[in-house]
Structure 1
C-alpha cells in the first residue's frame, strides 16, 4: 500500500487559518459583600423617643445625620447631641 505524500509546506501555499477559540460563557461576577443588617437604636440610646419621633430608627441613620439635622429635632440640644455622638458603637 503506497504512502500518501504529505501536503506541501511550500511558503507560497496558503497557511491554514488558526481555529477561532470557542466562545466562552460569561463568567458570573461574585456577589458583593453582604451589607450588614441595620442596627436598631438601643433602648438606652440618648433621646431615643425624640429620634424615633423624627424618623430615626437605626444607629446608622443617626451616625450619618449631620449635627445640624439632629439639633433641628425639637427638644434635642447640644448636651444630648454630645451624648449621642459619644455613645459606644455596637460590635
Structure 2
C-alpha cells in the first residue's frame, strides 16, 4: 500500500477515470489487457502505481503520462525494441532500478 494518497478510478471519480482513459488510449496495444473483464481498470493502475500517485490532480496525470503515450506512437521512426533499449540504457546509466 502506498503512503501517497490516491483517488481510485471509479465512476464516482469521473475526472480520474477520464484522465486514465485518455492516457491509456495513447499507449501501445501491448499495454491493453487481453481479457474483456480486465479492461475496466488497466493493469497499469489496478494496484498502487506511479500513475495513481498523480490522481489528486487528474489534469497533471493526463499530461504527464500522455507524453509517454505520444513518444511510443508506432508511426514514429523508432521501433518498440529501440525504445526499450534506450530506456534500459538510460535507466542503467542513471542507476535507476525501478
Provide TM-score, normalisation by structure 2. Answer: 0.21
* Structure of larger gyration radius: 1
Q: TM-score, normalised by structure 1?
A: 0.22
Greater relative CO, 1 or 2 (CA 8 Å, sep 6+): 2
Larger helix fraction of residues = 2
